[in-house]
Every structure is written in C-alpha cells, then in structure tokens.
Amino acid sequence: MPNISRDEVAHLARLARLAVTEDELDMFAGQLDVILQSVASVGEVAAQDIPPTSHAVRLTNVFREDEPRPGLAQQQALAGAPAVEDGRFRVPRILGEES
Amino acid sequence: MSELIRLTAAELAARIHSGEVSSVEVTRAHLDRIAQIDPAVHAFLHVDTDGALAAARAVDEDVAAGRPVASPLAGVPLALKDVFTTEGIPTTCGSRILQNWVPPYDATLVRKLREAGVVVLGKTNMDEFAMGSSTENSAYGVTHNPWDLDRIPGGSGGGSSAALAAFEAPLAIGTDTGGSIRQPASVTGTVGVKPTYGGVSRYGLVAFSSSLDQGGPCARTVLDAALLHEVIGGHDPLDSTSIDAPVPPVVAAAREGAAGDLRGVRVGVVREFSGEWYQAGVISAFNRAVDVLRELGAEVVEVSCPHFDYGLPAYYLIAPSECSSNLARFDAMRYGLRVGDENGNSAEQVMSLTREAGFGAEVKRRIMIGTYALSSGYYDAYYGQAQKVRTLIARDFAAAFENVDVLVSPTTPTTAFPIGERVDDPVAMYRADLCTIPANLAGTPAMSVPAGLSEQDGLPVGLQVMAPALQEQRMYRVAAAYEVARDRAEGGPFINRVPELEVAR
C-alpha cells in the first residue's frame, strides 16, 4: 500500500522541476496518496508470463529515404522563444554558483 | 438564427457544391452564431474570422469556375481542438505555459483539412494538455454544456463537443487518449470517434501520452463523422506510428448502416461495464439502445472481458508516466512561458519557477505520479505491471471479437455532472473514463453515438460501439443503423432536442 509523505512529494516535485508551494505540498500529498491507492490494483493481476505491450499496433522499424528536406528557418525557430540574443536562444546561466 | 447552422455537414456540402448557397454565407452564419452564443458557452479559445472567410472564398471560387471541389467536405466549417499546431494561429493546449504561442508549422491533420477545403473557424477549449474529463482544467475558463449551462461538456475535448451541440460548427476535431472524444460526445448528445491507434497522424498533435493519443472526428451525425474521418485519416511518413494502410471505408459503411438492416451482425454487450458507478438512467437508456439493435436484426450476446476492470488503474499509470516525459519539453528555453529570469537565477531555477506558474494542478499531479511510477524501485510494480495489463486487455478484445463483430457499452457511467462537482476529487473525475479506456489501451477503434436521454435527469446518454483494429466500418454501420432507428422513433433528429440558448444581444 503506497503512502506518500509530504517529503516524498517535495522530492518528486524537485525531480519534475516544479517549484511547488507549501500549500500545494499539503494538497498533493493527500491527493497523490489516494490516486496511487486507486491504481495499486494493477498489482493484483498475476502477469508473470505476460509480455508488456507498449504499442498497440505491431510495427517494426520504420525507415524513410535519407533525403534532405527544408526545416524551420532561423526566424521561425526563434519566433516563439521567451528571450533571443544575436539570433540565438538566450538562456539563464546553466552552472550553479557553487560549481 | 440562420437555418444554415442546423444543417448537417453533408447537407451543407451538397448545397455549397451545387451553388445553392456559398461557403462564405455558411461560414458567416456560423461566425455570427459564435459571436452570439459563445459568451455563454465558451467553446472557443480563438476564432480565426479572416482565415475562415478566406478558406470559404477559395471554395466558392472553385464552385463558380466549375472546377471540381477539393473534397466532399469542401466549404464546410469546423471547430479545431486547440491541441493541434496551426501555423500563424495561436495554439495553447488550454495551458498558461503556451499562452500566445503561435506555432511555425501546421499539424498533418490541419494540412489535410486545409487541402480538403474544410473551413477552420477557430480553436476550441480543452482540459490542459488534454488531461481531464470536464474541460474544467483549462487555464482559460470552463466550457458550458449547451444542454444545461451549469454542467460540464465532458473532457478533455469539451470545447469541440459544446461547439457541435450549440450549433457553432457542424464538424469538430478531438483527440482521444482515454476517452476525450467519446465522453464529451456522450454528455453533449453528439457523435465522436476514436480511430484505430495510428489511423490519424499525430504529427503536430502536442503529445500527452504518445502510445495512446489519437485524433479523430466529431460531428452531429454518424455520416458527417465518417466524411471527416476519410478527410483526416491515412498514412503519414512524418508519424512513425502511423499505419501504412488504406483508411477503412467508413462513409460507405455509414450509408449502408442507414438502410437500417443489421441482420447477420453479432453484437456483444460487455458484462463488466455495469455496477455501482453507473447511473440507473444511463443503464436503462443503454438497454433500450440494445433493444433497438436487436429490432434491427442484430444478434446480441453477453461477453465477458475480465481484465477491463484493470483498465482504469493501468491507464492512470501509463498516461501520467508518458506525460511526465513528454511535458519535460516545457523548459522555458525555446518557446512558451518563462518566469523568474532575474536575480541571477539558474536555468534550472527558471525552469522550475516557470513550470510551477505555467501548469495547473491536474497536470502537476500527473507529472508527479508519472515521475513516481517510473522511478527505480517502483517501475516493475507500477509501470511494468500496467504494460502487462495492457496485453491482457488486448487479449480480452481479441477473444471477444472471435465471437462478435462489435462490442457495445454505455460510453460513460453518468450523464453530464454539474460544474465543480468533481474538481477536488481526482479519482471521481477519472471514473468518467471507465468504459472508454480499454479501447485506448488496446489501440482499437471505438465511437459514441447518442442513445437518447436519461429518464433520470433528461440529459444525453451515449452508446459506445467498439470494433477490432482497422475495422472501423463495422462500428460506423451499427451506429448509423441505430441513429436512423432512434430518430425515426423520436420523430426527428435527436440533436434538435437540445434547449434553445439565450442569445446575447
């Protein structure tokens, strides 16, 4: 039976890059617990010899000819960017202060 | 109210192609209707007046010049779920994180609509990233069910279903990951079809759960859905899971079905789709629909699909797992919202602050459930086990289809519930997908056709018809036959029973 603590929710939020608030931690801790309990019944199915299905329609490798075709122009690619500098995506610093 | 908005897509196409009415007139009638009624319904997030009229004009020019029209639906207006990319037109997926995003390319489905001369009126409201069963998870406000404005229009495609029931468009597009086309169709008295997985291209469909997501047609009649199905279906080299096979002959099947003869057709009633979560009014409407199928000559038998009960839990592990991976692309770097890019915040901090501000509660819940289910130590017990359940459900379908041509069930356990009733109870919300999920997990096609009103509350009930992979024609035939018999018994098209909406002045 799963039992998700507030600390575990905080850990999941960190992994998922969600800066959740204290109030959200309280709310999600309760809700995630209920959700996980309601889906735990998948464990009841005796499925040792059952192969997993990840895609419903059986497809093997799909290939196409390696031919160049037009992609997005620079302007198009940058059109939705939150910040642009010198025709490139401008991003915040990648390395932390401590590194 | 213009009489044009009451017509079916097939009727509109016939009038436009014969020159009796222009596509511009038809398009204007629907744009006027949207202007009048959408303040109360809120089906649309964006209306593309100029683009729609330009597309309509192009069709009218073809007709005037005596050129062949681009498709059987050329000139007919359509409402597009805001989850397909549209070049030059905003695409938000109902999310704050994509507010004002204007995609640089068209989805394949959108390209096909444009090439077919279909007039795209605008983009419809939806649960954020298609996660939900009520459209209440949209960042842009709820959509109201035209049958009762205090109730939900279903979800995630509630904007599309409401647009149809409010006569704002005769055609719409939805996407169905766990029921997001069929359940909204059911609660709004409209028709919604989830094709075989891979039957309609996913290129340009913003991904939620890639192994389940499937676009499909929505309409007010079975024939209209079939006509749209043939426009949007077919192989696409840009989608590697697209099926390289002809689109099933669904239009011919809908016309054949309309003759009202189901002799020789074997129909299976799924035993597992009943019980404590089902409203009595839904069950009795469903039973009446099954009686009609029998009267039309079908042989009806009960079928057991024992693993269908595990569909809901398996789905609510698989879909969140895939969504936690897919939605990682919203990182505040290349497109969409960026929050907190100040005070020397790092990329990772900006990412976390942006996702916190840009995603709603249900999306956050699912991302975290998926993160949990995929973590080492839990993977086998949750995600791995759910993938095995998927195999067992596909086997249940295969065994059933050895004995019957189609399976039937209610589309969803209840009629439209009041806005707000389930927002704080995610698990109650999830139960709306109880009957629709197995077809997603197995990848098989299924559709919802209106099955009259519940005697309990006077709201629409849906009949779900399910078929084997790439055998869509079977379900269209059965649904069309049922539709004709239903309308004959009621003395007119079912959709005309939707109450007249107050028109804003």
What is the least distance, in Å, from the CA of B324 to any CA of chain A?
8
Tens-place pLDDT, residues B35-59: 999 999 999 999 999 999 999 999 9
Distances (CA, A) of B397 to A52, B145, B499: 16, 33, 38
What span, in angstroms and rounded, lies between the C-alpha atoms of B18 and B67? 12
pLDDT at A55: 72
Q: What is the pTM of this model?
A: 0.97
What span, in angstroms and rounded, lies between the C-alpha atoms of B186 and A69? 43
Q: What are B491's two structure tokens?
A: 């003395």
Q: Are B334 and A80 in contact (CB under 8 A)?
A: yes
Across A89-98, B89-98, B190-199, B344-353, least confident range? A89-98
Among A17, A45, A80, the residue with its CB nearest the CB of B348 is A17
Question: What strands, in cross-sheet order, belong to the sheet with B44-47?
Answer: B44-47, B119-124, B77-81, B171-175, B215-219, B191-194, B446-453, B460-466, B406-410, B266-270, B299-303
Tens-place pLDDT, residues B111-125: 999 999 999 999 999
Cβ neighbours of residue B43 closer than 8 Å, sequence gap 6 or more: B34, B79, B124, B125, B143, B153, B158, B159, B160, B162, B163, B166, B168
Residue type, position B126, single letter: M
Query: Is the bond preceding residue B156 a cis peptide, omega within 30 degrees?
Result: yes
Cβ neighbours of residue B276 closer than 8 Å, sequence gap 6 or more: none
ipTM (interface predicted TM): 0.93
Tens-place pLDDT, residues B328-359: 999 999 999 999 999 999 999 999 999 999 99
Q: What are B275's two structure tokens?
A: 């019980």
Is residue B471 scored above 50 in pLDDT? yes
Mean pLDDT of chain B: 96
Query: Terminus-to-terminus CA distance in chain A, angstroms?
Result: 40
Q: What domains appear along chain B, each with residue ranges and CATH number?
A: 3-309+390-497 (3.90.1300.10)
Tens-place pLDDT, residues B136-160: 999 999 999 999 999 999 999 999 9
Report CB contact under 8 Å: B335, A42: no
Nearest to B330 by CA among B300, B345, B315, B350: B350
What element of type H or E holds B218?
strand B215-219
CA contacts within 13 A on the Cβ side of B119: 36
Q: What are B299's two structure tokens?
A: 């042989």
What is the least distance, in Å, from the CA of A5 to any CA of chain B?
12
Tens-place pLDDT, residues B245-288: 999 999 999 999 999 999 999 999 999 999 889 999 999 999 99
Interface test with B, best of A1, A8, A35, A41 (most B CBs within 10 A): A35
Is B388 noted as a catalytic residue in this protein? no
Q: Is A84 on the interface with B (CB under 8 A)?
A: no
Greatest CA separation found in chain B? 73
Nearest to B311 by CA among A78, A95, A53: A53
pLDDT at A62: 84
CA contacts within 13 A on the Cβ side of B370: 21
Question: H helices within B207-271, ranges in order?
Answer: 222-232, 250-257
C-alpha B439: how far from its chain's center? Answer: 14
Counting as low any pLDDT under 70, the low residues of chain A are 1-2, 56, 96-99
Task: Write out the DSSP string of B438-455.
Answer: HHHHHT--EEEEEEEE-T
Q: Please report the residues numbered 72 through 131 in chain B whose beta carbons come closer than 8 angstroms to any beta carbon of chain A.
A: 101-105
Catalytic residue among B95, B134, B180, B324: B180
pLDDT at A56: 65
Q: Is B343 on the interface with A (CB under 8 A)?
A: no
